[in-house]
Structure 1
Amino acid sequence: MQTTTLYDQDFYAWTQRQVELLRSGQLGELDIENLIEEIESLGRQERQELRNRLGVLLGHLVKWHYQPEAQSKSWFYTIQEQRQEIQRHLKENPSLKPYLSEAIEIGYQKGLNLVGKETPLDPKQLPQSCPFSEAEIFEKPVDWELV
């Protein structure tokens, strides 16, 4: 017979109970197994956010580079926003920096999917690994003025 726990019944209530136990020093009462699982999940979410933002950024950089005739204000500001958010995310989570090159490669594959969905470009005809250096990804070239 499986016992239903507070963790299973009401996740928010479970989190609040764990906070109470931590604050009051009642460490023996903590749900250690589920706390470990949730903390690991939080770390995975930070990596996932970095990959997802890189996917959007790199997809737009590809569109910008390979479709100069279609460059738009929307693309420009999406690139700017993603750069700012990625920089903020890395500042808040500096231990993600060693993971950045791997995240760029994964993000680039996500970006190719975005290009395939949103443009007439064929992702199979584009570079299959990220053609941009970190400087090109994160710094605005001076010739990127809106037309």
Structure 2
Amino acid sequence: MTTKLYDTDFYAWTLEQSRLLRSGELKGLDIENLVEEIESLGRQERRELENRLGVLIGHLLKWVYQPEKRSKSWQVTIRVQRQQIQRLINQNPSLKSYLLEAVSIGYELGLELFFRETQLLDVDLPDVCPFTVEQVFDAAFPENFISKYQ
């Protein structure tokens, strides 16, 4: 019954699963779909980290490669993304072990943002993220590293 409910009324299914869990009626649980949903929640947290890193890294790239167009808006975006990523990691500390891979994925997403928003198709950017994890999260970066990239 609960598997069918999962396919026809997801909200009702979640309410039923919650009720069964709270009451200890474990035999009535839709284990297969519960496992799938819990795994999906974990993937969502990883995707949020990757997406936020993509925005952050994209703006760091714009800051470094378009110094003449730097704006307060870019600074704010960089600061806000760092804050939101830190909040996400504080709420999900195990994501720290995923940071290196997430920065790599975030770099790919950041490249898309960079090329879409700058139209600098002739810029030869490296295949891997030119920023370390520490630089990505350093509040003083990129200002204190600008000369390296100019």
In structure 1, distance between residues paired with 2:122 and 2:38: 36
- Percent identity for Structure 1 against Structure 2: 62
Which residue in 2 is equivalent to 1:130?
129
In structure 2, distance between residues paired with 1:107 and 1:19: 35
Say if 1:63 and 1:142 are closer, same or farther in 2 by CA, change over 3 A.
closer
CA RMSD of the aligned region, Å? 1.8
Note the 1:1-147 alignment, pairs <5 A.
5-122=4-121, 125-141=124-140, 144=143
Q: TM-score, with normalisation over the residues of structure 1?
A: 0.91
| SS of residue paired to 2:46 | helix
Q: Which consecutive segments of 4 or more residues in structure 1 shift more than 6 A?
A: none
TM-superposition CA deviations, 1:100-142 (whole Å, max 9, x none): 0000001001000001110022276112211112221111217
TM-superposition CA deviations, 1:36-76 (whole Å, max 9, x none): 00001111111111100000000000000110110111111
In structure 1, distance between residues paired with 2:104 and 2:123: 16
| SS of residue paired to 2:126 | coil
What count of residue pairs does the alignment treat as equivalent?
142
TM-superposition CA deviations, 1:75-112 (whole Å, max 9, x none): 11110110000001111111111110000001001000
Give the conservation status (yes or no) of the 8 Å contact 1:116–1:123. no
| SS of residue paired to 1:86 | helix
| SS of residue paired to 2:95 | helix
Give the conservation status (yes or no) of the 8 Å contact 2:115–2:121. yes
Name whichever structure is richer in helix by fraction: 2
Q: What are structure 1's unaligned runs of at least 5 residues? A: none
Say if 1:143 and 1:22 are closer, same or farther in 2 by CA, change over 3 A.
closer
Say if 1:27 and 1:126 are closer, same or farther in 2 by CA, change over 3 A.
same
Q: What are structure 2's unaligned runs of at least 5 residues? A: 144-150
Q: TM-score, with normalisation over the residues of structure 2?
A: 0.89
